[in-house]
Amino acid sequence: MEAGLDWAAVLIAALLYLSALFAIAHWADRREAAGRSVIASPTVFALSLGVYCTTWTFYGSVGRAATLGIGFLPVYLGPTLLMLLAPLLLRKILRIAKAQRITSIADFLASRYGHSPLLGGLVALTATLGVTPYIALQLKAVAVSFDALTGGGLGTSTGPFLDQGFLIAAVMALFAIVFGARQIDAAEHHPGMVAAIALESLVKLVAFLAVGIFVVWGLHGGLDSLFAAASTRPDLARLMGSEAALGDPASGGGPWGAWVATTILSAAAMLCLPRQFQVMVIESTDERHLDRAIWLFPLYLLLINLFVLPVTLSGLLTFGGGKDPDLFMVALPLNGGAGWLAMLAFLGGLSAAAGMIVVETVALSTMLCNDLVMPILLRTRSRALARSADLAPLLLAVRRIAIVTILLFGYGYFRLAGSAYALVSIGLISFAAVAQFAPALIGGLYWRGATRRGAIGGVAAGALVWAYTLLLPSFARSGWLPSSFITEGPWGIAALRPYALFGLEGWDSLAHSLFWTALANIGAYVGLSLFDRQSAAERVQAAAFVDVFHSAPDGAMPTPAAQSDWRSAASVGDLTRVVARFLGPHRAGRAFNGADPDEPAGPERLRLAERLLAGAIGGASARVALASSVSAGAVEAAELLRMLDETNDVIAHSRELERKTAELERATDALRAANLRLTELDRLKDDFLSTVTHELRTPLTSIRALSEILHDDPELDSEQRQEFLAVIIKESERLTRLINQVLDMAKIEAGALDWRIETIDAGQALTEAVAATEALFRERGIALSVDMPERLPPVRGDVDRVIQVAVNLLSNAAKFTPPGGRTRLTARLEDGVLRVAVIDSGPGVPVKDRDLVFDRFRQSGNTLTGKPAGTGLGLAIAKRIVEHLGGRIGVADAPAGPAAESGTGTSFWFTLPLAVSPSGQGAGEPPVVDRKID
């Protein structure tokens, strides 16, 4: 057997290490003060979450693995699962905690449920009862590992108050007081503490990995040989299968209970343990740090658990049953002759204990001070408190006393319980205790209707059932209660057996307790909330929590209208006094800088004071303190609180209103735009109708006038008559053309036109168009020339429509070209399309009109004086046809040349796609009948 190290050397090393932690914490505090924070880093944040791993991980996992195989793992899989939900759950909690200046989980719950001091106190008390024994376990682990390392050199024989447990408790109390309870504002960060925790997390990880590597490769020559050696022993082979962890599948009846229950409880504990809430929520400097912690913290958990089973197997192979498996981490290196490694392992365990103790006591002391002691003091000693000008020393004293008390309590429990079952099993029992906060915590984030009474009922019921099904039986198993309490039930009532409540037998005790506590807790929480009515304060806080992502930033708050109500209430001087009392005159002066002390405080200043106080003494106490602040007689305290609630209510409502208004505005804008568009369309339709009717009336009028003359005056000479009849015929033709075009246009726009798109010979179509218009040009004395190659490549289009377009452009040219002018039709290949142009020597189209000539009823030239020469629809139809055929249409100046001798000249052009595209597609396609436009 190993000799062990010199106890003095170990003690000095431990003290040196703890001093180093003090130095690190001090350095981090200094850096923070200098504005160069070390904790504002996602990696430090993720490492500080490692405070989850206590000595229960460092030493205890090996012990659990010795009986459960991989059954120790759910404790780490639960938090891994929870971290995956961080984007949903933790981000919201972090945001709320920042907005509300939350100081602890008790404060969080109290604030959510209408600043309820009762709920805050209940949570603080439950957490303290559930977790303080856990601190005792840390002290015990350090003491026992110290003994294992030194071979019991110091032992417990040196008197009850001089053992290692007391020593470590004292050092930790000092650390917690110096770095955890130095400033009043508990909502602010403790950079020194967090930096030390992060370093400790690193040390325990390195220590565990070092021991693991030494054991596997140093003592056994590799993983496979270790497992091979272990598998020859049936008792060890059992640990490598699923039977030890999950129970025997063949036996039936809840074999999975322990595994699943431990996973759920660990996930809940990761969220609800006071120390986890402290490092994860209160100490968080930036919610974006979560993004890295989501994978880095689970990775940390994985690494620190990697060698648990190998170390366990090696310990059992080496020592058999002759040594407590909890101490393998120290005993194995010592036995292997690596004293320094045993020392490192001890320091790793010390880190795990120190981190847990410090953060847990700081978190608990904040809770006890803000949610238990201060509300009581403010209620019972309000007069004495009011006389004191500066309560900051009192607050700090309460917290420090709480720290010392918690540690003394923990130490006492350690001395008292020793190796009793109640201490050994406390890990999961504390998890189950704090898990009672989870329903109210998570429900409060998403369920607006959850009420204060529901939350109090849920936590209380859950805590009572927890005490009955886990805590009391653990006392019984420690021998403090008769064992018949477990086996026969209290007073022999079998239905009340704590491990088989109401006859629910065959369950793992943890799963059994989880089921009953969840039933009582969630049942009371939901049941009471459903049949309860929220007060104004609860409604405000419920909205502030549930809608934290929707509310406006604090600066953009509207001023409540009920300003006049506040005239008679607190003055600025009152508020300054009460804030100074808790936060010191410096802070108060800064907050209400420059305001006249006699001025009425007004709702905004009151809210500011509430926020400041909440950061120091918690939400529930802040309200009581505010109420006590008002100078006697000015206003009743209850009245003041009512006003504060109403202000908050008004603000919450106006935020809601603001949001609704913004939404309404957006909807109105959209409606307005739609309406505008409709009006425009309507106007266009009206324009179209009036233009069409106008265009129809003009020829009709002349037809009618002339036919009336013919009818009334039979004496008209035949030459005159002939002339009139010619005009009538011409106008009728124009009318027919116009109606045809309107119908065409309507068909095109309705998509009802029949298209027959196929491969056509463009040359032929253009020749036909020229033939149809030749007479027109001749009549007006215009020279028409055609300029196109002998053979044009085939194009895709509808022959009739292409002719229609060409005829339209040609007849336009005939109309606008003055007699004696020239018109030229050209067609040629250009950029893979056929480009057809009609170039005339007319007056041209002004540049500003060029976009408009293709609109309906737009005619170039002076429409006021000159009689329109066309219907105004021709070009619009042409444009639609060409675009439907996949081409483009436009107008340009005529190219300089023989065509442009007189006037500036115009070139109307359009393009048609070739039947054979460059890629060879579309050749020889059968005709397509296409009824669709656009």
Partner 1 sequence: MSAPDPTPGHQAGSGRYRDRMIGLFLLAAALFNPPLLGLFGVKGTILGVPALYGWVFGIWVAVIALAAIAGRAR
Distance of closest approach, residue 308 Cβ to partner 1, in angstroms: 10
Q: What share of the chain is helix, strand, coil (3-state, %, to 5)?
A: 70, 5, 25
For 213-225, the DSSP string reads: HIIIIIISSSHHH
Compare residues 89 and 869 and give the one whose CB is closer to partner 1: 89
Question: Rounded to an integer, what distance in angstroms lies between the CA atom of residue 363 and that of residue 277?
Answer: 8
Residue type, 587: R
Q: How far is the CB of 319 from partner 1 (least distance, A)?
A: 21
Pairing of strands 889-893, 822-830: unpaired
Q: What is the CA 605 to chain-centroid distance, rounded?
A: 31
The partner residues of 913 in beta bridges, in order of sequence, read: 833
If the CB atoms of residues 2 and 658 are measured against partner 1, the closer one turns out to be: 658
Residues 770 and 784: beta-carbon distance below 8 Å: yes
**Could you tell me the smallest distance in angstroms from the CB atom of residue 253 to partner 1?**
13
228/494 with CB nearer partner 1: 228
CA angle (264 as vertex; 103, 88 as ends), nearest 5: 55
Q: Which residue has 């359009």 as its token pair?
A: 910
Report the alpha-carbon distance of residue 800 to residue 744 in Å, rounded.
Answer: 13
Phi-psi region of 317 (alpha: psi -120 to 50; beta: other; left: phi over 0): alpha
The two structure tokens encoding residue 364: 């608990």
Q: Identify which of residues 146 and 259 has a Cβ nearer to partner 1 in the complex.
A: 259
**For 379, what's the count of Cα atoms within 13 Å in the CB-facing half-sphere?**
11
Rounded least distance, CB 303 to partner 1, Å:
10
Closer residue to partner 1, CB minimum distance, 17 or 295: 295
In angstroms, what is the minimal distance from the CB of 320 to partner 1? Answer: 21
| Minimum CB distance to partner 1 smaller for 79 or for 842 | 79
Which residue, 261 or 402, has its beta carbon nearer to partner 1?
Answer: 261
Nearer to partner 1, 663 or 686 (CB): 663
d(CA 336, CA 843): 109
Distance (Å, whole) CA 69 – CA 234: 13
Neighbours of 714 (CB within 10 A): 7
* Long-range contacts formed by 842-849: CB under 8 A, 24+ apart: 842/813, 842/816, 842/817, 842/818, 842/903, 842/905, 842/906, 843/816, 843/818, 843/903, 843/904, 843/906, 844/893, 844/894, 844/903, 844/904, 844/905, 844/906, 845/891, 845/906
Shortest separation between residue 247's beta carbon and partner 1, angstroms: 9
- Distance between CA 339 and CA 5 in Å, rounded? 7
Q: How far is the CB of 558 from partner 1 (least distance, A)?
A: 17
Instruction: Identify which of residues 288 and 381 has a Cβ nearer to partner 1 in the complex.
Output: 288
CB-nearer residue toward partner 1: 84 or 716: 84
Taking the complex as a whole, the smallest distance from the CB of residue 17 to partner 1 amounts, in Å, to 30
Query: Would you say 113 and 451 are in contact if contact means Cβ atoms under 8 Å apart?
Result: yes
Minimal distance, residue 287 CB to partner 1, in Å = 8
**Shortest Å distance, C-beta 314 to partner 1:** 14
Nearer to partner 1, 27 or 227 (CB): 227
Work out the angle between the directed axes of helices 191-213 and 308-319 (0-180°, nearest 10): 50
CB of 434 to partner 1, least distance (A): 21
CA distance linking residue 534 with residue 528, whole number of Å: 11
Provide, rounded to whole angstroms, the least separation between the CB of residue 88 and partner 1: 6
CA distance 148 to 294: 37
Sheet of 783-787: strands edge to edge? 783-787, 822-830, 833-840, 906-913, 889-893
CB nearer to partner 1: pick between 227 and 475 = 227
Q: Measured from the CB atom, is 263 or 513 closer to partner 1? A: 263
Conformational region of residue 595, where left means phi above 0, alpha means psi within -120 to 50, and beta covers everything else: beta
Q: How far is the CB of 42 from partner 1 (least distance, A)?
A: 11
How far is 267 from 270, CA to CA, in rounded Å? 5
* Least Cβ distance, residue 431 to partner 1 (angstroms): 17
Name the minimum Å distance from CB 238 to partner 1: 11
d(CA 724, CA 709): 9
What CA–CA distances, in Å, run from 293 to 74, 283, 286? 19, 14, 12
- Which residues lie near partner 1 (CB under 8 A)? 69-70, 73-74, 77, 80-81, 83-88, 222-224, 227-228, 231, 240-243, 245-246, 249, 255-256, 259-260, 263, 288, 291-292, 294-295, 298-299, 302, 306, 309, 549-550, 659, 663
C-alpha of 268 from chain center: 20
- Nearest CA-CA partner of 373 in 44, 178, 625: 625
CB of 74 to partner 1, least distance (A): 8
Shorter beta-carbon distance to partner 1: residue 28 or 245? 245
The answer to whether 21 and 200 have CB atoms below 8 angstroms apart is yes
With 0-12 CB in 10 A as exposed, 13-18 as middle and 19+ as buried, what is 930? middle
Q: How far is the CB of 307 from partner 1 (least distance, A)?
A: 11
Q: Which is nearer to partner 1, 294 or 353 (CB)?
A: 294
Separation of alpha carbons 644 and 650, rounded Å: 10
Q: Which is nearer to partner 1, 246 or 442 (CB)?
A: 246
Type and span of the H or E element at 258 = helix 257-272
Question: At closest approach, how far in Å is the CB of 660 from partner 1?
Answer: 9
| Structure token pair of residue 390 | 């500066």
Cβ closer to partner 1: 186 or 261?
261
Within 751-761, where are the H helices?
Answer: none
CA atoms in the 13 A half-sphere facing the CB of 252: 0
Q: Which is nearer to partner 1, 666 or 778 (CB)?
A: 666
Amino acid at 4: G
